[in-house]
């Protein structure tokens, strides 16, 4: 298999993974009619909800493997296009460590901001909600496409997880892009102040992508205050704006930085070893 064909296979896996996730969200949305949730249908929809997460995880795996394959082939090919410069810049050991640390750290921070990871020291889950600690369950219904099925997990009496599919997808995408930006920025010491600012704006805006309505609603359930509801309403109105500006900025910034890392002959200034 040629390098070009292998690179194309990586692209196909990435596209296939994202298309599968989109179709999965739309298909599961058909089961969100409360009238369908009859006693006889509950078990069936519950099994479908489990299948939803199995397919979602497989799709993530396809995307991750496709990106790794695409990245590796770009490095091996040592091209002079900007995508190859990005790959070569982030392939060395130092950049990979920075990427992993940023991806994990930003992912945790994103989880807290979005309400996926919840810490409520004032609330006892076992006392207020009768939850068994530890325990978890999948809620199969009912909300819009991408918001169900939800996974609720009680880790301790004060720490829990509220996993919403669309939040999970956005969290992984934004965390990956922030990690990529950070890995390139460490090497791009000649980048102008304007370039660094653009990357920072994208990272900050990305914090507010993950369904602020769900985050605010989940917090309001545990906090029980009107301020949590008001906050979720306010953030909902800005959600589309944050999505519109953050992901494009995070996508474009690596290419801006890559120009700073390209020699006059088009080769990369950074050693990929």
Residue 36 binned pLDDT confidence (cut-offs 50, 70, 90): low
| pLDDT tops 70 at residue 207 | no
Bigger pLDDT: 243 vs 33 = 33
Provide the mean pLDDT of the chain.
75
Residue 272, classed as helix, strand or coil, is: coil
84-131 pLDDT, tens digit each:
888 888 888 888 888 999 899 888 888 887 778 888 888 888 888 888
| pLDDT tops 80 at residue 236 | no
pLDDT of residue 264: 63
CA distances from 175 to 129, 169, 202 (A): 32, 10, 11
| pLDDT tops 80 at residue 221 | no
| Residue boundaries of the structural domains of the chain | 90-115+164-273
Bigger pLDDT: 130 vs 37 = 130
Give the lowest-confidence range in 53-67, 143-157, 200-214, 240-254. 200-214
| Candidate ranges 16-20, 84-88, 137-141, 149-153; pick with highest mean pLDDT | 16-20
Predicted TM-score (pTM) of the model is 0.76
CA angle at 181 for the pair 177 and 186, rounded to the nearest 5°: 150
pLDDT of residue 114: 75
What values do phi and psi take at 121, rounded to 5? -65, -20
């Amino acid at each position: 298999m040629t390098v070009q064909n292998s690179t194309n296979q990586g692209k196909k896996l990435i596209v296939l993974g994202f298309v599968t996730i989109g179709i999965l969200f739309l298909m599961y949305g058909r089961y969100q009619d409360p009238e369908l949730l009859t006693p006889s249908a509950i078990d069936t929809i519950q099994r479908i909800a489990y299948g939803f997460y199995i397919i979602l995880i497989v799709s993530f795996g396809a995307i991750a493997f496709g990106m790794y394959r695409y990245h590796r082939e770009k490095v091996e090919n040592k091209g002079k296009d900007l995508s190859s410069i990005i790959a070569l810049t982030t392939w060395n050991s130092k950049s990979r460590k920075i990427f992993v640390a940023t991806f994990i750290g930003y992912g945790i921070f994103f989880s807290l901001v979005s309400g996926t990871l919840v810490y409520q020291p004032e609330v006892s889950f076992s006392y207020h909600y009768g939850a068994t600690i530890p325990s978890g369950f999948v809620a199969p219904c009912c909300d819009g496409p991408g918001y169900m099925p939800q996974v609720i997990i009680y880790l301790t009496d004060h720490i829990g997880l509220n996993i919403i599919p669309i939040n999970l997808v956005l969290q992984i995408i934004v965390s990956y892009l922030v990690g990529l930006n950070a890995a390139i920025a460490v090497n791009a010491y000649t980048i102008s102040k304007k370039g660094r600012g653009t990357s920072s704006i994208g990272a900050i805006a990305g914090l507010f992508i993950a369904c602020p309505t769900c985050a605010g609603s989940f917090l309001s359930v545990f906090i029980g205050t009107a301020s949590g509801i008001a906050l979720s309403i306010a953030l909902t109105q800005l959600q589309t704006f944050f999505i519109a500006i953050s992901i494009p900025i995070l996508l474009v910034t690596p290419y801006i930085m890559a120009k700073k890392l390209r020699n006059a002959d088009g080769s990369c200034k950074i050693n990929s070893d």
